Structure 1
Amino acid sequence: MTEYAEVIGDPIAQSKSPAIHGYWIGKLGLDAEYRACHVAADGLAGYLSSRREDPYWRGCNVTMPHKQAIVPLLDRLEIGAELIGAVNTVTVRRGEMLVGSNTDGAGFLEPLRPMLEKEHLFRTARVLGTGGAARAIVAALAEQGVVVVLAGRDPAKARALLDEIDPEGEHHAVDIAHFAEATDFAFDDREGCFDLIVNASPLGMAGQPPLRFDFTHAPPGSVVYDIVTHPVETEFLKQARAAGFRTIDGLSMLIGQAAVAFEKFFGVAPPREDGDAELRALLTS
């Protein structure tokens, strides 16, 4: 039998994780597999129970809608997942203990590291969305000293999320509709500042409503980041580039978080010497 890991969710057919992990497994010549497994909400506990008994199972990635629902079914959480309250990776320790971790924050920050290594007078991010991915993103940004303006359909939910993850932070919660209409706000001098706009919601994803964001709300020099991966080239990113902003697409976060999970599953770092160029070409072909 061959050891394996997998991704679970509902739906799951759209997941790019099997292609990413399968590519790395092939490059390294590992005797391993990475699969996709459809798991509905009412089957989550049964899934974990069956996998506990499988000696060849190395763990799973967790996608919508299970990132928070899976938490009480695990034996322990790593510190990051405990803070965030959401899990996207489950691994097996000592042959029986199921441990939840969250690699979304690390994956999200990876393309931002060169910028965040610099000194800034002020760091701010407008984050759109209040789901599981947004929780990880807010936690990662707060750790980097970024003041977050969190936008959701329910500002009270956004406020509660901020207070839960970083109660000492000077963050702000607003209605996501605030960013849909143009503003004549005059931004001050942004020299020495770091400004980020993040779509951490499903808006703009294939089959979902469009994301309404007017770029008059983006400070000059902002970096615009969309975590949506289907399509990779979202209307949000197209509009940002047309307005002259630097952009980062969802594959950056997806590949970054997968790399952390891959090492947890198989005990070896994935091959990324070409800056993921070949893998990106595979995922967008």
Structure 2
Amino acid sequence: MASEWPKAAVVGWPAKHSLSPLIMKTWLDETGQPGDYAIIECEPDAFESAARARFNAGLVGVNVTVPHKEAALKLADAASDAARAIGAANVLVWREGRIEADNTDHVGIARALESDSGSGPAVLIGAGGAARAALYHLKGQDREVRILNRSRDRAEALAGEFGISAQIQSLEDETAFDGASLVINATSLGMSGQPPLAVDLSATSENALVFDMVYAPLRTGLLEQAERLGRRTADGLIMLVGQARPAFEQFFGATAPQHDGVRHGLLAALEQRA
């Protein structure tokens, strides 16, 4: 019966633009797994009560997007090592009356960076929640890390929290990208409706990988510049789909398809919004 199907949702403010329902429903169709997935818009001060009410009403789990990720971790009764280390949760699952938190953003980041050499200098742009997940991925790698952020104090605090001896620089620093083999944009700069990300990638290594977490537009100014220079690129959809796979498995108990078929649907949806 439909009423017995596992039901999950994405929670954010706003959330109507989310592509998560398209991803989850595509995988439900492809796997033949019964289930449903919805959108819940919730203002920040109502997040805890809304989440608890939905779980009590039978929701098995939620994807959590901005601005609720830190609140989601605080709400949970238990949390994964990744969620605790990153300091935020993008997945909440209801298990036997307890809320368990996880952070799968780093899984999506790892997917986007599969072709990264892991050796040359890495430049991380931003020091917010997305940057935390990126730094979690970079931690432990034997490479130089540079964090570019408007607030030097915030970037220094972030590096200290992760135990990384990072170089803290500004976007205007002419040496910031010298010899970099990896560049990650973990800000909203370059997103539709936001200011552009005005940086010069010409000093990066010839085989550098440039990853932009922004996916609207998919081909950001940063990625277009990288392509003109002959650098390798990874777009935000790779991360989006990558972080959704473990969440799908936690919600619906089925393995998400490993092929990239869902990407075609996402591209079509983005084209309609353009």
On whether the aligned pair clears a TM of 0.5, the verdict is: yes
Q: Which residue of 2 aligns with 1:191?
A: none
2:54 is the counterpart of 1:86: no
3-state DSSP of counterpart to 2:196? coil
Aligned-CA RMSD value? 2.1
Q: Deviations over 1:216-244 (max 9, x none)?
A: 34233211000001111111111110111
2:122 is the counterpart of 1:136: no
2:105 is the counterpart of 1:108: no
4+ long deviations beyond 6 Å: none
Structure-2 change in CA distance of 1:259 and 1:221 (3 Å): same
20, 35, 40: which is aligned to 1:37?
40
49, 54, 58: which is aligned to 2:57?
54
Q: Percent identity?
A: 34
Q: Deviations over 1:12-35 (max 9, x none)?
A: 122111111111111112221111
Structure-2 change in CA distance of 1:279 and 1:206 (3 Å): same
Code of the aligned partner of 1:61: N
Q: C-alpha distance in 2, partners of 1:112/1:185?
A: 18
Code of the aligned partner of 1:111: A
Q: C-alpha distance in 1, partners of 2:177/2:47?
A: 47
- Number of aligned positions between the proteins: 268
Structure 1, unaligned runs of 5 or more:
188-193
Of residues 24-33 and 130-139 in structure 1, the stretch that sits farther from structure 2 once superposed is: 24-33
Q: How does 1:68-217 map to 2 (within 5 A)?
A: 68-94=70-96, 96-116=97-117, 122-165=119-162, 167=163, 169-178=164-173, 187=179, 195-217=181-203
Structure-2 change in CA distance of 1:277 and 1:186 (3 Å): closer
3-state DSSP of counterpart to 1:113? coil
Structure-2 change in CA distance of 1:130 and 1:115 (3 Å): closer
Code of the aligned partner of 1:101: D
2:236 is the counterpart of 1:250: yes
3-state DSSP of counterpart to 1:70? helix
Give 1:177 shift.
3.3
Structure 2, unaligned runs of 5 or more:
none
Q: Is the 8 A contact 1:156 1:173 kept in 2?
A: no
Give 1:91 shift.
0.9
229, 253, 258: which is aligned to 2:215?
229
